[in-house]
């Protein structure tokens, strides 16, 4: 008998067709207003779930209401919305899509870095608003990127892809903060591992690409921001909660750091009341690290492979996040 799977994100038709062939597929059409209760109800009889950005955290109380659930396939590399201890308790396998989005996400983070440093959006808006009436004066000058020091917080796959761009493309000096040393990055990109405070004090560009865990939750506090140079630019492509957002707003307002490029926020979508929207020295993008046609297709395919392997073939793929579940 076919197993029941709930798909709660839009994916390409050919990948949805693979799910329809393998499972009894139910589509859960999520809107920003979707109540967690409706989501839980849709999953009450499900063996598997696949999608991204669900409307609630998958924790013990959620899993008590989805007793048949055996596998969750997230269309993302991040899985901070899943409580791993609860998944273990309820015997639910979790798979993610780590490799396919590495280069695309590094591209977006570098885009944010370059556009923030060179004030691309601000200067484009100036022309759109009919304000380019004379040569640009020093208050509109940007900052050099080539030859500067980039401090990467999180030297995993994406961190290394950023280091590659920085070292080979822009002749930048690469320093990093990571739990463990990464000799491959040290060799390939001349990267140097330092303590967090040293990275913050030294770098011209701080790029955050750490996973959100209890250890990294609000890692970048007011005190940590105060260590950065006044000329430094902060880029966050990880999760909003890695930074104390109120402290960041204060640092940007008082210009104790120069500017920020942010793809992620404490609350998403970013509320229209956010003070970030009032600041000129912040460039915003709507959590689009992996949002290219090619990468999102590859992520959907990978997530479909993952759920089929876990539920149908009973052979989890290499993207199995919690093998301790068995
Ligand atoms: C990821 O894959 O984790 C991206 O941030 C999208 O959620």
Q: Is residue 156 part of a domain?
A: yes
Burial class (CB in 10 A: 0-12, 13-18, 19+), 53: middle
Number of domains in the chain: 2
In short, whether 102's Cβ falls inside 6 Å of ligand 1 is no
User: 133 in a domain, yes or no?
Assistant: no
Q: Which neighbouring-strand residues pair with 143? A: none
* Contact (CB, 8 A) for 238 and 154: yes
Cα torsion through 264, 267, 273, 276, rounded to 10:
-30
- Average pLDDT score, the chain: 96
Ligand 1 atom 6 nearest Cα: 76
Whether residue 236 has its Cβ less than 6 Å from ligand 1: no
Q: Distance between alpha carbon 308 and the CA centroid of its chain, in Å? A: 25
Q: How many CB atoms lie within 10 A of CB 325?
A: 19
The answer on 57 and 26 residing in a single domain is: yes
Atom of ligand 1 minimally distant from the CA of 53: 7
The token duo for 311 is 């539920």
Q: Is residue 130 part of a domain?
A: no
Could you read off the pLDDT of 48-79 as tens digits, one per residue?
Answer: 999 998 889 999 999 999 999 999 999 999 99
Which residues lie across from 48 on neighbouring strands? Answer: 5, 71
Tokens found for residue 72: 């969750």
Question: Comparing C-alpha atoms, which of 304, 308, 306 is closest to residue 321?
Answer: 306
| Atom from ligand 1 closest to the CA of residue 96 | 2
**Residues 308, 274 share a domain:** no
Residues 164 and 242 both lie in one domain = yes
Q: Are residues 57 and 163 in the same domain?
A: no
Residue 112 forms part of a structural domain: no
pLDDT of residue 31: 78
Structural domain harbouring 261 = 143-284
74 found inside a domain: yes
Joined tokens for residue 96: 């993610």
Q: Are residues 234 and 182 in the same domain?
A: yes
Domain membership flag for residue 279: yes
Q: Is 55 in the pocket of ligand 1 (CB under 6 A)?
A: no
Do 75 and 156 share a domain, yes or no? no
Q: Are 49 and 73 in contact (CB under 8 A)?
A: yes
Q: Is 239 a catalytic site residue? A: yes
Q: Are residues 259 and 156 in the same domain?
A: yes
Find the 127 Cα to ligand 1 centroid distance in Å: 33
Catalytic residue among 239, 241, 245, 296: 239
CB of 109 closer than 6 A to ligand 1?
Answer: no
Residue 34 sits in the same domain as residue 96: yes
Range 213-234 average pLDDT? 98
73 lines ligand 1 (CB under 6 A): no
pLDDT digits (tens, 9 = 90+) for 20-51: 999 999 999 987 777 889 999 999 999 999 99
pLDDT mean over 213-237: 98
CA angle, 10 as apex, 8 and 12 as ends, to 5°?
A: 135
Task: Tell me: do 251 and 302 sit in the same domain.
Answer: no
> Residue 150: beta bridge partners?
174, 205
Q: pLDDT for 276-324, tens place per residue?
A: 999 999 999 999 999 999 999 999 999 999 999 999 988 888 999 999 9
Testing ligand 1's pocket by substitution, the residue of 79, 100, 101, 263 carrying the most ligand atoms inside 8 A of its CB is 101
Q: How many CB atoms lie within 10 A of CB 249?
A: 18
Which CATH number covers residue 305?
A: 3.40.50.720
Specify if 106 maps to a domain.
no
pTM of the model: 0.95
Is 90 an active-site residue?
A: no
pLDDT score recorded for residue 127: 98
Could you tell me the two tokens for 279? 């600041």
**Burial status of residue 154 (CB atoms within 10 A of its CB: 0-12, 13-18, 19 or more):** buried
Closest by alpha carbon to 117, among 151, 140, 145, 97? 145
Sign of CA dihedral 144, 150, 151, 156: positive
How far, in Å, CA of 323 to CA of 128, rounded?
53
* Residue 152 covered by a domain: yes
The verdict on 159 and 95 lying in the same domain is no
Residues 254 and 206 in one domain: yes
Best CA proximity match to 181, nearest among 171, 166, 191: 191
Same domain, 238 and 159: yes
Omega of the bond leading into 135 within 30 degrees of 0 (cis) = no
Using CA atoms of 237, 214, 323, 37 in order, give the dihedral in degrees to the nearest 10.
-80
């Amino acid at each position: 008998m076919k197993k029941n799977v709930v798909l709660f994100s839009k994916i390409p038709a050919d990948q949805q067709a693979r799910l329809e062939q393998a499972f009894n597929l139910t589509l859960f059409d999520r809107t920003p207003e979707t109540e967690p209760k409706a989501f839980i109800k849709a999953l009450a009889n499900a063996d598997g779930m696949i999608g991204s950005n669900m409307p609630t955290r998958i924790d013990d109380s959620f899993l008590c209401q989805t007793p048949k659930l055996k596998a969750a396939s997230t269309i993302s590399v991040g899985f901070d919305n899943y409580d791993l201890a609860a998944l273990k308790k309820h015997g639910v396998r979790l798979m993610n899509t780590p490799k396919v989005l590495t280069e695309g996400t590094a591209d977006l983070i570098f885009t944010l870095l370059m556009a923030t440093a060179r004030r691309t959006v601000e200067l484009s808006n100036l022309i759109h608003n009919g304000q380019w009436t004379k040569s640009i004066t020093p208050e509109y000058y940007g900052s050099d990127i080539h030859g500067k020091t980039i401090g990467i917080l999180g030297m995993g796959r994406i961190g290394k892809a950023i280091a590659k761009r920085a070292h080979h493309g822009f002749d930048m000096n690469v320093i990093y903060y990571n739990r463990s040393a990464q000799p491959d990055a040290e060799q390939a990109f001349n990267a140097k591992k330092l303590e967090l405070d040293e990275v913050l004090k030294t770098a011209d560009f701080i790029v955050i690409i750490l996973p959100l865990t209890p250890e990294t939750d609000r890692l970048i506090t007011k005190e940590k921001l105060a260590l950065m140079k006044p000329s430094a630019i902060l880029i966050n492509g990880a999760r909003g909660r890695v930074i104390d957002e109120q402290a960041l707003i204060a640092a940007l307002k008082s210009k104790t750091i120069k500017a920020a490029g942010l793809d992620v926020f404490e609350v998403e979508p970013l509320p229209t009341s956010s003070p970030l929207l009032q600041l000129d020295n912040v460039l915003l993008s709507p959590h689009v690290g992996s949002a290219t046609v090619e990468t999102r297709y590859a992520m959907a395919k990978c997530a479909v492979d993952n759920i089929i392997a876990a539920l149908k073939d009973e052979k989890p793929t290499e993207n199995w996040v919690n093998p301790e579940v068995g």
